[in-house]
Amino acid sequence: MQWHDRISRRLRLKDLHTLQTVAEVGSMAKASRRLGLSQPAISKAITDMEHAVGATLLDRTSRGVELTECGRLLVDRTRVVFDEIKLGVTEIVQRSDPAQGLVAIGTTEPVTAIVTEIIGHLVRRYPGIRYHITISDRDALEHALRQRMLDLAITRWSPLPAADDLSAEVLFRSSLAVMAERRHPLLRSRKKLKLAELMEEQWTLSPADSFFGAYGRRAISAT
Name the residue with higher pLDDT: 170 or 9. 170
Same domain, 120 and 69: no
Whether 126 is covered by a domain: the verdict is: yes
Whether 159 is covered by a domain: the verdict is: yes
Whether 22 is covered by a domain: the verdict is: yes
pLDDT of 97 strictly over 60? yes
pLDDT, one tens digit per residue, over 35-51 is 999 999 999 999 989 98
Can you give the pLDDT at residue 22?
92
CATH number of the domain residue 70 falls in:
1.10.10.10
Same domain, 195 and 217: yes
Whether 91 is covered by a domain: the verdict is: no
Question: How many Å apart are CA 186 and CA 191, to the nearest integer?
Answer: 9
Whether 86 is covered by a domain: the verdict is: no
Can you give the pLDDT at residue 164?
67
CATH number of the domain residue 111 falls in:
3.40.190.10
pLDDT of 19 strictly over 60? yes
- Name the amino acid, one letter, at 31: A
pLDDT of 20 strictly over 70? yes
Tally of domains within the chain: 3
- The domain containing residue 209 runs over which residues? 185-221
Query: How many residues appear in the chain?
Result: 223
Same domain, 189 and 169: no
Whether 107 is covered by a domain: the verdict is: yes
Q: What percent of the chain has pLDDT over 90?
A: 16
pLDDT, one tens digit per residue, over 40-79 is 999 999 998 998 888 899 988 778 888 999 999 999 888 8
Same domain, 9 and 73: yes
| Closest residue by Cα to residue 64 from 29, 17, 16 | 29
What's the pLDDT band for 6 if we cut at 50, 70, 90?
low
Same domain, 47 and 72: yes
